[in-house]
Structure 1
Amino acid sequence: MYYRCHKCGGVFPASEFKTGRQLHGPGCRAYGVHPNHRYCPCGVSIDWYGYDYVEMEKLGTGRFTQLLDVIEVDRDYVGIGVNKKEAALYRSREIDPIAGEHLQFVNVICHSTEREYMLCVPPDIKDVWTAVGWTFNKTKSEYAPVVEA
């Protein structure tokens, strides 16, 4: 496992860095804390966000979810025709030994950039649109991707 710095592109062994950043986002507890905390020589703190994004982008969502051994919890679509986008909610099959609970991810495709993302969400979320809304600090009913795009 390695970390990649977003600023300089440097790659470092994960065992040398603290992952004290919040994996699930604002208000959630941090996972995977390592006792050593270092920074990239360019001054940027190295964290899980960089690792997850780089690995998912290199491997593709299919292989990334296979390696994480996840199961699909929910899947839905928004939009019509060429603007139709899919979103899926995945949960780890086994309880994560570091987190002490299942890890959960929502897989989305950005409407404007067409980039695919796998975003961590709290394990108590049960449907895909609640998960997507949560990533924007909104409820399921407040999140309206067609209106926002």
Structure 2
Amino acid sequence: MTTDLMMNSFTLARDSFGRLNLTGADGALHENVAPVRAFPIQAPDEGISLVSTDGKEVAWIDRLDQLAHATAALVREELQSREFMPEIARILEVSGYATPCTWAVDTNRGKTSFVLRGEEDIRRIGSESLLVSDNHGIHFLIRNQYELDKHSKKILDRFL
């Protein structure tokens, strides 16, 4: 079953294997394309490249909100299946203030815990955001450190 979705100069469709295929305005078919965000944290819905399996860009999307709703939904769905970056909503507790230590957090995907190897695994991204990497290489996003609750801010301040 293939569902065609029209965009400005190309068509996106899922094939029977669930892969995303792009047909250009010239009729050229690019199979199994993947969306890649240019700025995944600062501007997740802007600057999305559709790349072929060999890594070459075959189409560019300036903004997802400029696409038809169904097309934007298809691109978002594909991005979500490829990306995994839970957002920390609250820091519940830490096992200690010396690293390595275990953090218990509440994320947009539920409660979890992870080991922070060192303070260098907390990186600033812009003026508000932080990227926290655990001992397995999973990245957790704190979108705005200033919007965290008082308890979470107090814990985070000990590591920054």
Structure holding more helix per residue: 1
Q: Which has the higher contact order (CA 8 A, sep 6+)?
A: 1
Q: State the TM-score, normalizing by the size of structure 2.
A: 0.27
Q: State the TM-score, normalizing by the size of structure 1.
A: 0.28
Structure holding more strand per residue: 2
Query: Larger C-alpha radius of gyration, 1 or 2?
Result: 2
